[in-house]
Structure 1
Amino acid sequence: MFNITLRDFISVFIPIFVAVDVVGTIPLFIALVDGQAKKQRRKIVIDSVTTASLIAVLFLFIGKGLLGVIGITIPDFQIAGGALIFIISVRLLLPGAKKSLNFDKNDKFLGIFPLGTPLITGPAVLTTALMMIDIYGVKLTLLSIILNMLIVWYVLARAEDILHVMGQTGVRAVSKIMYILLAAIGVMMIRRGIMGVFL
């Protein structure tokens, strides 16, 4: 049985949702699929969500084992991972961070790279997921990843409608808030890691 409390679920779901930042991906997604046929857009959405999900779930089950093989403890990873998440979030807060990436719009693997990874499932998502496993366990983390990927699928499938409602300014504002929250999550992970080393 899961024995999941609402508080635990929210504690896992929100950090992963923030790390994914699907709202911030909308403008870049629209720019990349601009001019594509409807059928091709659907394929790109499916490819991106499938790729992102597979990478996240695979890392969920082998990530901790890999760390053990090379002698990295959970507190070590919490400190390094927290620092990485903090740095990534600060960089993404800078103007034009995602726009500075150059991609070929005609690439048939566009859904796999850059959308599936690193834009949907990147270092921030992988690090956050691994931290959530250590705190809340695999089942709850896996459930949160699956639900987040379903949200990603829906948002990208309706990206133009969402952008029309929110506008570029609204999307940017929400995205900036997500990055600030992500930076705070990074600090929390560093704090937990330091406590794990010394306590």
Structure 2
Amino acid sequence: MNFDIKEIITAFMVLFAVIDIIGNIPIIIDLRKKVGHIQSEKASIIAGVLMIVFLFLGKSLLNVIGVDVNSFAVAGSFILFFIALEMILGITLYKDDGSSSPITASVFPLAFPLIAGPGSLTTLLSLRSEFYIENIILGVLLNVIVIYIVLKTSAKIERMIGQNGINIIRKVFGVILLAIAVKLFATNIKELF
């Protein structure tokens, strides 16, 4: 075992920035309004499991289906782009067929692609080339704890900042998410050509 506090903290901070759970609060609140209740435990655990599984099998899995990491990141950037447009313009692009349940919403789009999305999954692959795997896993687990706390307290956060605050944060973070989507697209599209 090669535990290193510096590596754990670095892995945690990098993933925390990419996952941006604080920035996703407006999306979480919107989702809760659409489906009623979000299963915080389930969303956190599924996101954590997805990230850890991808850490071990990601590159191989993508190779098996004939997709490289860059193509995966470009596809994910489109999803983030459309979610950002919904946030900024106040429109709904994702067609809700009425079958969205709290269980479905906890998995898609919350656990994937918002939390364990292309950004965090490709980040995990790049961290793996630099850090020991046990330190990355601890960084992921620490993020899962923070994610769970934010998901569990999103209603209180909403009450504290009010509807106008939510609308402002939603638009600001929509623009930030849009910028992340464009950056993810631009960085990875160059690698494809």
* TM-score > 0.5, shorter chain as reference: yes
| Residue in structure 2 matched with residue 178 of structure 1 by the alignment | 173
- Amino acid paired to 2:159: H
- Amino acid paired to 1:117: V
- In structure 2, list runs of 5 or more residues that go unmatched: none
Q: CA deviation at 1:69?
A: 0.8
Task: Please say if residues 30 and 159 of structure 1, whose CA atoms lie closer than 8 Å, have aligned partners that are also in contact.
Answer: no
- Tell me the percent identity: 22
User: Normalised by the size of structure 2, how large is the TM-score?
Assistant: 0.71
- Amino acid paired to 1:127: P
Per-residue CA deviations over 1:55-79 (Å, capped at 9, x if unaligned) read: 4433443332221112222233333
- Amino acid paired to 2:68: T
Q: Does 1:61 align with 2:52?
A: no
Which of structure 1's runs of 4+ aligned residues deviate more than 6 A? 5-8
- Amino acid paired to 1:86: F
- Amino acid paired to 2:121: L
Q: CA deviation at 1:166?
A: 0.7
Matched length = 185
| Residue in structure 1 matched with residue 42 of structure 2 by the alignment | 47
User: Normalised by the size of structure 1, how large is the TM-score?
Assistant: 0.69
Counterpart among 124, 128, 132 of residue 119 in structure 2: 128
SS in 2 for 1:134: helix
- In structure 1, list runs of 5 or more residues that go unmatched: 35-40
Alignment of 1:29-178 (within 5 A): 29=32, 32-33=35-36, 44-97=39-92, 101=96, 110=102, 112-114=103-105, 116-124=106-114, 125-137=116-128, 139=133, 142-178=137-173
Cα separation, 2, equivalents of 1:83 and 1:31? 22
Task: Please say if residues 18 and 182 of structure 1, whose CA atoms lie closer than 8 Å, have aligned partners that are also in contact.
Answer: no
Q: CA deviation at 1:164?
A: 1.4
| Residue in structure 2 matched with residue 38 of structure 1 by the alignment | none
Per-residue CA deviations over 1:167-190 (Å, capped at 9, x if unaligned) read: 122123223322222222222222
Task: Please say if residues 24 and 173 of structure 2, whose CA atoms lie closer than 8 Å, have aligned partners that are also in contact.
Answer: yes
Cα separation, 1, equivalents of 2:168 and 2:21? 14
User: Taking structure 1 as reference, are residues 134 and 104 closer, same or farther at Cα in structure 2, changes over 3 Å only?
Assistant: closer
Per-residue CA deviations over 1:85-142 (Å, capped at 9, x if unaligned) read: 323322443315399746579x6xx3x321x211321234321122212332274664
User: Taking structure 1 as reference, are residues 193 and 141 closer, same or farther at Cα in structure 2, changes over 3 Å only?
Assistant: farther
